[in-house]
Structure 1
């Protein structure tokens, strides 16, 4: 046998060997989120689907674990000076952007600055930051004007807006301008070329991502991508999505309506999941610029017109899945308190009518916006309308889809000219647990969220909370902020509830994190 024949024989043998080993099939996770992904900038947008998109493709300097502790994520080590004024952060080895370039300290500084321009916690942090300086490619220094306990909790903030790290060239864009470049360093890569809003968003595993070598704990620890591809499918018809899950055509539904849970629970191939450790809080958002709610006395009447149980029954129904909680800063968390709650949120209509009369309410209609497409919000406005009318308000309820509410709520024009007075929303409770992280409590006038509450006394308390380090004093400030909220009424909180998700039982590893995240999720 000559050399050519031997070579040919070896090639044939190799080909047979290769073909005898089956190729690994690509693992695809198909999911339906609470809404369609239309915006990809999680700093510009507060939409939860955009936040969760951010968690897939970006990483954070710090993260919140299952015990509520702040733990390093992209950071390897942190040094704090003895006077508490200088924080030095060193990034861990192996951090790269999806294009292979290394993550640098300058990238992180630019990302913090852009995030802080949009976020209420970031704004409080930057008010006490003297400078941020890169000492070398992996190390940067944050210098404070005065000691504060806010630095690590701010950088490890788990909810909207999350301080995600981006390349400097992207993060240099103004915070009020949407970015379109989705380059990140996280465990998944967004396939922008396959994105079809209203149809599908696709993510693929980042083969170069180096997770932390430690167990996952809520949003902290090792983020391991265990599926090759994730497809976010847009299905606005809840029954269609549930039928697809039962048939095995999709793997996960983030927000099936409560009245359809029984259908899912009867199927032995389906598991029901609670993926938030604190759930959500119903909130009555108020426009402080226009009549009648420019009058604090009229706003005060809302505390006596409303009760939480009616709202919770209308949306959830099952008492096992909701909680009546008068504490502003979320029951079961550090700053929860019953101070000032007596007599409020009990639908005392006589008291509410007396307050309206005392405040001089003249019958100006309240333009109340009703979400027509989000099941956990659709039934809230009719309950508010009924209770307010029993208390003596006139209410003009106007139904529209959620995106239309978002657009309209950004307008400061009078209600009679196409503006608004109030609407209801159900934000994640994990962002509402203290006076600074609670973005709805932000009462900084033009810098506040839509509704534009303007209260120097509340902002003074929030500033004190941001600067304080003593746990006892922090609790005292939080109590004072709650009492001020009851007096001044920036908004009204209307009970807590937990979203229940559904998945096929062959999909495992879901984390109760608050945001819906897909690292460590495995499909068998």
Structure 2
């Protein structure tokens, strides 16, 4: 079956081939370039210098904050958790949490929150193979009927059992929002629960990758909620946060964007099997997990060294030397497949409703400049034009020369002139609080200005970007033209999972391209019967995205995490999860 073939192909995915500098090549620095690109390189170096200077100022300004925390111990961060017999893990995630509905957004912090309190029917393991989680399944010989059977012991946090009706409502809401889910529901005849433990999904035609799509770990996993919650219209945000997952959301201690607390769900029954990525038993071995927000990465690093916190999800490469001398801290790559960073234009409003102007923006940008500013050290980034990832079976770099070959300011200027660009300002949203997102808008703004764009770079925190990017308002009414974001490579590895190649207009991902041609190619991908056919279609999609500029691929990178050595048995997975891990005494 094509879905199985696709699964086998994906097993061949390997870690990104990131460049490693040799002793004699100036630490892998790119060769000097001339003209305006050189000017950008100088700006990039100045940006890194400014970041370092700002970090040192922050270190001095936060001395009193850290000292106060050290005097109070870990209770400085969580005064309500002072019971000596409780085991609490305190983590600094990449962003504060404000959006609590994991179906309404693709924000990673909200997805991470979803995995804490909800569960899923099935989940992929490290080989990208779907495994049972809440349910086992059978597929009819003709590929039209999928029957799921819920395992025993499933219970929501309010004490109610999980039933088939809850699953049907949850999948239906998810299918309206998720890119792959939309394709499945295009061919769905019925989705029903004949009894409390059975779900029957009947299709009008085979959809071989169905199990791959519902088992994915992102961007919008099909989390199971009580039916009364899942019946919330997909265009509205849920207001009740009851799941059946391994942790309970403590709504009373939730401070939006500042702190969120999760408590062990004592009635959770882990499934059997082996732990692998999101599959296998979810055994919680601590009492509480607290996600707290800190002013910046340097403050978090010093708090980690001091023992005030236990874990940092993302580290600034420039600040890694601070941790080198700390024997109590482990720095590591949780996910060797890495991330991609991308720029997303808004296809609804001028000037990016014009294809030629989108192409001009892509011509103006350079992956090398962008990645060098983001990461600094070439060991941690890879120039890559493949929208499905350079190390994946579907990866191909057709048409990516405008971004992988360096900025072409003259070409960008010529396209702007041809398009009759009238100086309409570009509203570029610029998050200031996420290590892996704060540099891209700065580099892009300078490059776009050199090409002749007027740029209005508006600074805000990431959660404000998350909320604002979901609005289709005109620029005059608070809308936007472009933002940058990052994805794990597994999230973009095929046309069904990669939400940025969805061309369904208002039903597409933020930016809303109305692109019937790419939708035809995605539908053909579903029906492909061999990996070779799938690859050929993926290459066509790659070429189309590069020409139409549905989004701008800006390369791949790795980002390390850090933990106290007292934190053990953390699952190596693209998604940071807190089950299975243990916290030992100092």
Is the pair's TM-score, using the shorter chain for normalization, greater than 0.5?
yes
- 1:152 and 1:464 map into 2 onto residues whose CA distance is 18
Q: What corresponds to 1:216 in structure 2?
A: 275
Residue 169 of structure 1, CA deviation: 2.1
Q: Which moved more, 1:225-234 or 1:354-363?
A: 354-363
Residue 72 of structure 1, CA deviation: 1.4
Helix, strand or coil: the match of 1:162? Answer: coil
Contact 1:277 1:513 in 2 (8 A): no
Q: What corresponds to 1:312 in structure 2?
A: 371
- 1:204 and 1:223 map into 2 onto residues whose CA distance is 14
Quick check: 1:121 aligned with 2:185? no
Q: Which has the larger radius of gyration?
A: 1
Residue 225 of structure 1, CA deviation: 0.6
Tell me which of 426, 435, 451 is aligned to 2:511: 451
Quick check: 1:87 aligned with 2:114? no
- 1:282 and 1:402 map into 2 onto residues whose CA distance is 15
Q: Deviations over 1:247-290 (max 9, x none)?
A: 11211111232222211222111001322343221111101223
Contact 1:125 1:150 in 2 (8 A): no
Contact 1:282 1:427 in 2 (8 A): yes
Q: What corresponds to 1:439 in structure 2?
A: 499
Q: What corresponds to 1:191 in structure 2?
A: 250
Tell me which of 462, 465, 470 is aligned to 2:522: 462
- 2:373 and 2:230 map into 1 onto residues whose CA distance is 42
Instruction: Give the gaps of 5 or more residues in structure 1.
Output: 1-22
Distance of aligned partners of 1:406 and 1:136 in 2 relative to their CA distance in 1, 3 Å threshold: closer
- 1:214 and 1:419 map into 2 onto residues whose CA distance is 48
Contact 1:432 1:439 in 2 (8 A): yes
- 1:406 and 1:37 map into 2 onto residues whose CA distance is 10
Helix, strand or coil: the match of 1:404? Answer: helix
- 2:457 and 2:167 map into 1 onto residues whose CA distance is 45
- 2:158 and 2:415 map into 1 onto residues whose CA distance is 61
Q: What corresponds to 1:68 in structure 2?
A: 128
Quick check: 1:230 aligned with 2:289? yes
Quick check: 1:523 aligned with 2:586? no
Quick check: 1:506 aligned with 2:570? no
Helix, strand or coil: the match of 1:427? Answer: strand
Residue 433 of structure 1, CA deviation: 1.2
Distance of aligned partners of 1:190 and 1:404 in 2 relative to their CA distance in 1, 3 Å threshold: closer
TM-score by length of 2: 0.81
- 2:457 and 2:257 map into 1 onto residues whose CA distance is 28
Quick check: 1:489 aligned with 2:545? no
Helix, strand or coil: the match of 1:425? Answer: strand
- 2:251 and 2:456 map into 1 onto residues whose CA distance is 42
Residue 67 of structure 1, CA deviation: 1.1
Q: Deviations over 1:48-104 (max 9, x none)?
A: 22211111111111111111111111113x211111111111122222222333221
Q: What corresponds to 1:340 in structure 2?
A: 399
Helix, strand or coil: the match of 2:499? Answer: coil
Distance of aligned partners of 1:484 and 1:211 in 2 relative to their CA distance in 1, 3 Å threshold: same
Instruction: Give the gaps of 5 or more residues in structure 2.
Output: 1-82
- 2:164 and 2:473 map into 1 onto residues whose CA distance is 43
Quick check: 1:59 aligned with 2:138? no
Residue 352 of structure 1, CA deviation: 2.7
Q: What corresponds to 1:366 in structure 2?
A: 426
Residue 338 of structure 1, CA deviation: 2.4
Tell me which of 315, 327, 330 is aligned to 1:268: 327
- 1:484 and 1:340 map into 2 onto residues whose CA distance is 8
Distance of aligned partners of 1:426 and 1:111 in 2 relative to their CA distance in 1, 3 Å threshold: same
Q: Which moved more, 1:186-195 or 1:352-361?
A: 352-361
Helix, strand or coil: the match of 1:377? Answer: coil
Number of aligned residue pairs: 501
- 1:270 and 1:142 map into 2 onto residues whose CA distance is 48
Q: What corresponds to 1:18 in structure 2?
A: none
Runs of 4+ deviating beyond 6 Å: none
Q: Deviations over 1:455-507 (max 9, x none)?
A: 11011112222344432222121111111111111110101112211100011
Q: What corresponds to 2:211 in structure 1?
A: 152
